[in-house]
Structure 1
Amino acid sequence: MCRPEHFTVSYRINPWMHPQDPTNTAKAIEQWTTLYDTFVGLGHDVHLIDPLEGLPDMVYTANGGFIIGGIAYGARFAYPQRSPEGPAFMHWFADNGFEVVEPERVNEGEGDILLVGPRILAGTGFRSTVESHAELAGIYGREVVSLTLVDPRFYHLDTAISVLDPLEDDENANIAYVPAAFDDASRRTLETLYPDAIIVSEEDAGILGLNSISDGYNIVIAKRAVGFEKQLRERGYNPIGVDLSELLLGGGGVKCCTLELRR
């Protein structure tokens, strides 16, 4: 995670961002701290990367890379405003004992790369290129399924899909998703691969309710996603709502603020 000490909205690279509207950095830090404390309270081991001045989106650490088995695939951002984040995260990975693979293709880390059981779901359409999916497959030797995003509200895959079961070797790992985010072919793929998936409303997904973190039972979600909360409880999960409304002004939620480190 990265404390949002420099958080503001000074440019527009997604539909959520409106530079003309004021942001409150102190409020963002307060809400982020609640998320941090929630993770610690659930027993997660949380590591911090130092925030860098001039990089207001660095709080969205999910975009900083993707890691399985101690191998860190670095990020190469689509927009110049975030480009310096890529090297910053790769330096952190190296300093903390991860094997770093520098990307050749544009990808935005776990924003567009999700591990579901043994399979990798990879998004394209707005940020990460489809060529990065082949790069992923070559690095990790796993099945990589490409999914195309078509709704700009869901510009990253982690805004449209929630991974409910996080174990890497769980063949029955399930997801929740919002169909409107995807093209027809991707919807058919998801229907085939995950017939028991939770289908989430556009209302809940539209406040980044799917942008969540799960340990297989406790699932931290957007506090206002009450419909999704009910669906999770009905499936036997324990949803925990957190208010990140200030960080939503930059287009991020729970998952965006959290990069998973898989040793």
Structure 2
Amino acid sequence: MRGQPTNSAAQPRFLMCRPRYYAVSYSINPWMDPQDWAAQGSDLGEAAHREWAALHAALVDKGATIECVDPKPDLPDLVFTANAAIVLDGKALLSRFRHPERKPEEPVFADALQAQAGLDAVDTLPGDMIQEGAGDCIWDSYRGQFWMGCGHRSDRAAANVVADYFAVECVALELVDPSFYHLDTALCALPTGDVIYYPSAFSGEALRAIEERVEPAKRVALDNDEAAQFSANAVSFDHCLVLSSCTDAFRRKVEERGFTVLTTPLQAFLRSGGSACCLTLRLDHRS
């Protein structure tokens, strides 16, 4: 129901994957530089382990339950579990990746969700439709709807499939900046109805869709510097916002809305164009 936050105080459950094999070994977005990673590989690999462990500890400390996918060799981006599937009401709609580098992750995520997540159903997209999981399809508990990114990684037509499968509205938002290729890099829906977003990431039509559904007082627009810090790529529950870093101005805006801001640096993962939200898949969202 609109205006009634769901799950905001319930113990959240997440799917994560330890970064045992994480590295920037190919480039499928503007953030990824394999040569630069190779030049600093061992140091960055160690940093990734420390940063992931700190995020994991922060979530557990706030009351979260974490299920972990076993890492697999040659799947460096398996760590970004937000791309595994869209999950709501105990059902999962598995992702289908656009880039061949990530397609081998699909059966690994399917097995993990079927075996570990305790879901009632795990299903696949029709035909050859592309949709890259919760990283490109964000649940808005306040409005009882999904926001779905399209244009870079997910097909616009997938919004209709998501709406039919979960029996809720799914609003497609076209992304136009290749640096903000998944929706979770540019938008975060808080359980209070506030929406953090980076306007420059969206087409004019997408901005109008956001403005039609989110009243001005509940819009938190990011500037270029805040967006580049991946301030929208945050994990929100129990009136806490967990993210890699943020400006003082952004922190004040979020705290004014009743949230505690918890920063846990994730610089090694920003090198792949990912951050806190990308590293987690929420398993317990309910409509």
TM-score over 0.5 for the alignment? yes
2:206 pairs with 1:180: no
Q: Aligned in 2, Cα 1:216/1:173: closer, same or farther, shift over 3 Å?
A: farther
Superposed, 1:245-256 pairs within 5 Å as: 245-256=267-278
Equivalent position to 2:133, from 109, 112, 116: 109
The aligned residue for residue 43 of structure 1 is: 63
The aligned residue for residue 163 of structure 2 is: 137
The aligned residue for residue 217 of structure 1 is: 239
Misfit runs of 4+, over 4 Å: none
The aligned residue for residue 237 of structure 1 is: 259
Letter in 1 for 2:125: P
**Whole-Å separation in 1 of the counterparts to 2:247 and 2:57:** 20
Q: Is the Cα–Cα contact under 8 Å of residues 224 and 243 in structure 1 kept in the other structure?
A: no
TM-score (norm 2): 0.87
Letter in 1 for 2:131: N
Q: Aligned in 2, Cα 1:247/1:135: closer, same or farther, shift over 3 Å?
A: same
Letter in 1 for 2:170: V
**Whole-Å separation in 1 of the counterparts to 2:146 and 2:233:** 17
Deviation at 1:216, TM superposition (A): 4.2
Equivalent position to 2:34, from 7, 19, 25: 19
The gaps in structure 1 that reach 5 residues or longer are 166-171
Question: What whole-Å deviation, never above 9, does each CA across 1:184-240 have from its counterpart, x for those lacking one?
Answer: 011111111112211121211112111001114111012244432221112221110
Q: Is the Cα–Cα contact under 8 Å of residues 121 and 145 in structure 1 kept in the other structure?
A: yes
The aligned residue for residue 174 of structure 2 is: 148
**Whole-Å separation in 2 of the counterparts to 1:197 and 1:29:** 34
With 221-230 and 177-186 compared, the bigger mean Cα shift is at 221-230
Q: Is the Cα–Cα contact under 8 Å of residues 116 and 174 in structure 1 kept in the other structure?
A: no
Secondary structure of 2:59's counterpart equals helix
**Whole-Å separation in 2 of the counterparts to 1:45 and 1:225:** 29
Query: CA RMSD for the aligned pairs?
Result: 1.2
Letter in 2 for 1:20: Q
The gaps in structure 2 that reach 5 residues or longer are 1-15
The aligned residue for residue 151 of structure 2 is: 125
2:86 pairs with 1:66: yes
**Whole-Å separation in 2 of the counterparts to 1:123 and 1:68:** 17
With 227-236 and 79-88 compared, the bigger mean Cα shift is at 227-236
Secondary structure of 2:93's counterpart equals strand
Deviation at 1:93, TM superposition (A): 1.0
Letter in 1 for 2:264: V
**Whole-Å separation in 1 of the counterparts to 2:179 and 2:248:** 19
Identity of aligned residues (%): 34
The aligned residue for residue 20 of structure 2 is: 5
With 90-99 and 106-115 compared, the bigger mean Cα shift is at 90-99
Deviation at 1:69, TM superposition (A): 1.0
Q: Is the Cα–Cα contact under 8 Å of residues 204 and 227 in structure 1 kept in the other structure?
A: no
Question: What whole-Å deviation, never above 9, does each CA across 1:229-263 have from its counterpart, x for those lacking one?
Answer: 22111222111011000111111000000100027
Q: How many residues align?
A: 257
The aligned residue for residue 31 of structure 1 is: 51
